[in-house]
A and B are shown apart, each in its own frame.
Chain A
């Protein structure tokens, strides 16, 4: 092609136009994407094991990792789940069984991180006259939310104590109302956790069962809408990383972290401390282990299996979903791989 000015100019213009058009079209074609730069919304309810997400936010760990996060604190678990179910949040901190249920209800959620295992955090607190769970036969027992993890926990705990579900009658009581229900005699015992746990214990109520009595049932996780994960994986990765960093920070700066986390959840530092004592937060390796499909108590899979059966019997599931479809270990695995690379010189 000879460089005659007139023709070259026409070609140039045409080329530029086409490039612009292509860019415009590509941009238009990617219209399915949600606003790339809007913050990721995460629903949080009041549970000590989730508090460190506020620590991460406060300490700018999210920003440092290049992600913008909005945290939505809703005291009750079910309410928080509902918000997520109705699309008000991109992700939610919840228990494993609830995630399973979400999936079965047509609002999928994929687990990317295990925040904690409840050890003594979840308790069945009862009136002192009932020494054991077996004493609750014919009595009223409470759990928070039908078909929730609480439901499972309570039934499992009873099962462990040799009590059949129809031996007991139940009431649906939110955890933070358990104390007042105990006080007014509405229930004989109920499932609760901090801060109510400490409050109740102070009032003389006793622990009839703990999470560690039925290990592997109550596992708390961070789950996201799989669509969000698909479209914004880097940000999800950043969130996971930030949370693990927050966990480390908490280990190193306990006092400070305690203050921040207690304030964030609206409870006193003592209660928070108590709550934290009742849980075990797995680090990166713990997470990697937990997300592997296995049968150990530290495996998500156990929780998964338990919940599965529970829901299945109660007509809550159409079929058995794949574990892999609900749990995405890629983010923790990526971080672990990065760490291994770091170690090798």
Chain B
């Protein structure tokens, strides 16, 4: 449920509860007030009425006393007409009597102001009897036959001066009139339907406004259920539960106290009103209160709905904004309108979003950076791994070279002069070595090195041994020269004796040292060494050629020359193992990278040489075929199994022992040939030998297609 609805419902609920309570309490209070008020009031009324009634009755007796003392009445001789006249006068003056009548001693009606029943016997014998008994006032209530209404009768006997009873005067007032006397002098609220019931001493209903039918018939019990209190007390009040109406009828009552020397007549007046009429104002108020409450509830709830909506609007805005943020939109912004906590929250949210936006941007940037770095790292890792692999290779080859170098260095450490020349050559060799190393980084450096090293090694070894011998000879010659030096000194001094000595010494020494041999040998040695150095120079030149940085430039080259150059480099490897058979054809200049092609020849030749066990033959065939040039290198080596042949051009595939070969040579060769737009094929049979056929296009086209024509 929406927050504003919650507020509305809660408010409506509370308000409803409050209003219900209020209405209930108000009404309850109203009922209580009314009831107690009227109970008191009715009782007062009843008491008052009874007093008034008493007075009224008393006055009637006074009247009666006067009337019965009337001289005309007291005169025996008065005629009925005279009596009637007198009575009429009294009636007109008093204005209260329905009629007055005079009965003779026998109870015959002599005169009556109504003119009715004249000459008839009274039907109120009891009354007259009572009246005739001495000085008593008699009173009763009953239906007057003649007057056809309920009357209160008062009777008193008339006596003449002697005290002889002449008759009885009976005065009658209508009960209604009596009621009016009572009612007139007691206040009552107009809207209240107040009922007054009068009961005689026998609890017989004498008069009632509301219960006219019950007059002189109903008894107290018929009318009121709660009789006990009515019977017992002098006056009081009470209530009767009105079953129909579920509210109490209220009554108050009073008994006639009796007056002046006269016995109380025991009458009871009950003033009552129905609960309906008493509580009507409360019901009306209750209805109005309910109506008001409902209207108020409706109006106020309506207003509160508006207010709640207003108040919770900022909440809604916040919600929307936060939802946006949740969805990833950090551009959300909440207007902080209100001055209260909602406004504060909105402002805080905005600030937070600003911060977030900034941070997310940074994070985004960071992530991008990280991403890039990771990519770079990965690349680096890959490169690194590659390098490591290659480095390992290089390492092993370098180790070999290092060993060779060390050997060379140690060999040449003995002789200074030659060493320098050799050092120079060595430097060149080192350079060449470097180049070899370099070349090995790209391809089968090991082979080159091995081959190159071999080629260099051989002359170097005899050069160094020659140098060693030469050193010895130089030593010996130095000795001899020193001896001659001594001779010169002696000759100069013209010491003939010493001179002979010295010549003898020198001759002995020369013989000892074998100077003749030395002299003859030195020549041979030097010649051999120079030759050897020349060879090394050649090889180095070749190597230089081949170790020059490959710029990928393809220039026309004579493949026969390249082939010869390679052979030269690795002649040492080949010469002990194979007999070379060359069949060079007339080749056009082929557009190629000489170094690379040379590398290829080298690899294949090396392999061929290494494949031969004992002694064999390596055949070299070159031929021009249209736009191609074919070079065949065959050996009578061990040959390859079909499995080996399949894997021949695989990188790192080698049949040599670990550490002896990289396995890269042929794969690189394959690459090189392919890059030249050529082809390389292998035929081999185990035990028979292997034949490599390289075909290269004369003109190189980038896409591998050969340029036709020139």
CB of B179 within 8 A of CB of A164, answer: no
Q: Is B497 an interface residue (CB 8 A)?
A: no
Q: From known contacts A166-B84, A166-B111, A315-B97, infer whether A28 and B287 are also in contact, taking CB-CB under 8 Å.
A: yes
Contact partner, B114, options A170, A312, A318, Cβ 8 Å = A170
Which residue of chain B lies nearest to A311 when distances are taken between CB atoms in the complex?
Answer: B95
CB of B305 within 8 A of CB of A7, answer: yes
Q: Is A252 an interface residue (CB 8 A)?
A: no
Contact partner, A106, options B179, B294, B298, Cβ 8 Å = B179
* Interface stretch of the complex, out of A15-23, A51-59, A270-278: A15-23
**Minimum C-beta distance from A189 to chain B (A):** 13
| B 1-35 to A, binary, CB cutoff 8 A, 1 in contact else 0 | 00001000000000000000000000000000000
**Minimum C-beta distance from A66 to chain B (A):** 31
CB of A164 within 8 A of CB of B94, answer: no
Q: Is B96 an interface residue (CB 8 A)?
A: yes
**Minimum C-beta distance from A170 to chain B (A):** 4
* Interface stretch of the complex, out of B169-177, B324-332, B573-581, B653-661: B169-177
Contact partner, B95, options A7, A164, A171, A312, Cβ 8 Å = A312
Q: Is A60 an interface residue (CB 8 A)?
A: no
Chain A residues numbered 297-328 whose CB sits less than 8 Å from any CB in chain B:
312-316, 318-319
Q: Is A168 an interface residue (CB 8 A)?
A: yes
Q: From known contacts A85-B212, A315-B177, infer whether A146 and B294 are also in contact, taking CB-CB under 8 Å.
A: no
CB of B116 within 8 A of CB of A171, answer: yes
CB of B85 within 8 A of CB of A14, answer: no
Chain A residues numbered 87-119 whose CB sits less than 8 Å from any CB in chain B:
104-106
Q: From known contacts A86-B213, A169-B115, infer whether A313 and B95 are also in contact, taking CB-CB under 8 Å.
A: yes
CB of B209 within 8 A of CB of A25, answer: no
**Minimum C-beta distance from B492 to chain A (A):** 139
**Minimum C-beta distance from B187 to chain A (A):** 15
CB of A318 within 8 A of CB of B184, answer: yes
Q: Is A250 an interface residue (CB 8 A)?
A: no
What residues on B are CB-neighbors of A147 within 8 Å?
98, 147
What residues on B are CB-neighbors of A18 within 8 Å?
294-295, 298
Per the bound structure, the CA–CA distance linking A167 and B83 in Å amounts to 11
| A 150-178 to B, binary, CB cutoff 8 A, 1 in contact else 0 | 00000000000000111111111000000
CB of B291 within 8 A of CB of A22, answer: yes
Q: Is A29 an interface residue (CB 8 A)?
A: yes
Chain B residues numbered 148-200 whose CB sits less than 8 Å from any CB in chain A:
148-149, 173-174, 176-177, 179-181, 184
Per the bound structure, the CA–CA distance linking A18 and B293 in Å amounts to 10
Q: Is B76 an interface residue (CB 8 A)?
A: no
**Minimum C-beta distance from A88 to chain B (A):** 11
Residue count of chain A within 8 Å CB distance of chain B: 36
| B 274-305 to A, binary, CB cutoff 8 A, 1 in contact else 0 | 00000000001001001100110010011001
Q: From known contacts A315-B95, A316-B98, infer whether A166 and B148 are also in contact, taking CB-CB under 8 Å.
A: no
CB of B294 within 8 A of CB of A318, answer: no
CB of B287 within 8 A of CB of A25, answer: yes
CB of A167 within 8 A of CB of B92, answer: no
Q: Is A145 an interface residue (CB 8 A)?
A: yes
Which residue of chain B lies nearest to A138 when distances are taken between CB atoms in the complex?
Answer: B81
**Minimum C-beta distance from A23 to chain B (A):** 11
CB of B294 within 8 A of CB of A22, answer: yes
Contact partner, A168, options B88, B97, B99, B115, Cβ 8 Å = B115
What residues on A are CB-neighbors of B97 within 8 Å?
314-315
Q: Is B306 an interface residue (CB 8 A)?
A: yes
CB of A105 within 8 A of CB of B176, answer: yes
| A 169-207 to B, binary, CB cutoff 8 A, 1 in contact else 0 | 111100000000000000000000000000000000000
Q: From known contacts A18-B294, A166-B88, infer whether A146 and B148 are also in contact, taking CB-CB under 8 Å.
A: yes
Per the bound structure, the CA–CA distance linking A170 and B116 in Å amounts to 5
What residues on A are CB-neighbors of B213 within 8 Å?
86
**Minimum C-beta distance from B47 to chain A (A):** 21
Q: Is A11 an interface residue (CB 8 A)?
A: yes
Q: Is A251 an interface residue (CB 8 A)?
A: no
What residues on B are CB-neighbors of A78 within 8 Å?
148
**Minimum C-beta distance from B266 to chain A (A):** 25
Q: Is A1 an interface residue (CB 8 A)?
A: yes
Q: From known contacts A18-B298, A314-B91, A318-B180, infer whether A166 and B290 are also in contact, taking CB-CB under 8 Å.
A: no
CB of A315 within 8 A of CB of B294, answer: no
Question: Which of A15, A146, A165, A312 has most chain B Cβ within 10 Å?
Answer: A146
Per the bound structure, the CA–CA distance linking A21 and B297 in Å amounts to 13
CB of A106 within 8 A of CB of B176, answer: yes
**Minimum C-beta distance from B694 to chain A (A):** 89
| A 17-38 to B, binary, CB cutoff 8 A, 1 in contact else 0 | 0100110010011000000000
Q: Is B146 an interface residue (CB 8 A)?
A: yes
What residues on B are CB-neighbors of A22 within 8 Å?
291, 294
CB of A146 within 8 A of CB of B302, answer: no
CB of A29 within 8 A of CB of B115, answer: no
Q: From known contacts A22-B291, A85-B212, A314-B98, infer whether A165 and B306 are also in contact, taking CB-CB under 8 Å.
A: no
**Minimum C-beta distance from B15 to chain A (A):** 13
**Minimum C-beta distance from B145 to chain A (A):** 9
Q: Is B522 an interface residue (CB 8 A)?
A: no
Which residue of chain A lies nearest to B109 when distances are taken between CB atoms in the complex?
Answer: A169
Q: Is B515 an interface residue (CB 8 A)?
A: no
What residues on B are CB-neighbors of A15 within 8 Å?
298
What residues on B are CB-neighbors of A172 within 8 Å?
116, 146, 148
**Minimum C-beta distance from A105 to chain B (A):** 5
Per the bound structure, the CA–CA distance linking A319 and B99 in Å amounts to 18
Q: Is B706 an interface residue (CB 8 A)?
A: no
Other than A106-B209, A165-B115, A172-B148, give 5 A-B pairs with Cβ distance below 8 A. Answer: A146-B114, A313-B92, A314-B99, A314-B113, A318-B184
User: Can you list 7 A-B contacts with CB-CB less than 8 angstroms, sorted by A residue number?
Assistant: A14-B298, A14-B301, A21-B294, A106-B179, A165-B115, A166-B85, A314-B113
